[in-house]
Homo-oligomer: A and B are copies of this chain.
Amino acid sequence: MFLEIAHLVIKPGEESTFEQQVAKAKPYFMAAKGCTGISLHRSVEHPEQYQLNVKWATVDNHMVDFRNSDGFQQWRALVGPHFASPPTVEHTHEITL
């Protein structure tokens, strides 16, 4: 399992609308091949900043399958207008502790 970590910075005053749009977009992720979960985390220290975490079976399920899907276009149409800057994205795998 791989965790996509996206860092999102939202235009001032658009935070609550952005959160509603992510909720609307959630079904597109949950319907995507290899996606097993999505969560949204808002920074306490910088409340215009969010971390979106999406669980994928493989990195390609995100970068190839989802990025080329209609669901990705729907996601970007819903949230893209609220981005203050381009998102940064990385992938991680969990280390067993």
Partner-B contacts on A (CB < 8 A): 2-3, 5, 19, 22-23, 26, 38-46, 50-51, 59, 90-97
Contact = CB atoms under 8 A, between A and B. Distances in A.
A45 B5 CA distance: 12
Contacts of A3: 41
User: Interface SS of chain A: helix, strand, loop or mixed?
Assistant: strand
27 contacts: A3-B41, A5-B41, A5-B51, A19-B95, A19-B97, A23-B96, A26-B97, A39-B94, A39-B97, A40-B94, A40-B97, A41-B93, A41-B95, A42-B92, A42-B93, A42-B94, A43-B90, A43-B91, A43-B92, A44-B59, A44-B91, A45-B90, A45-B91, A46-B90, A50-B92, A50-B95, A51-B92
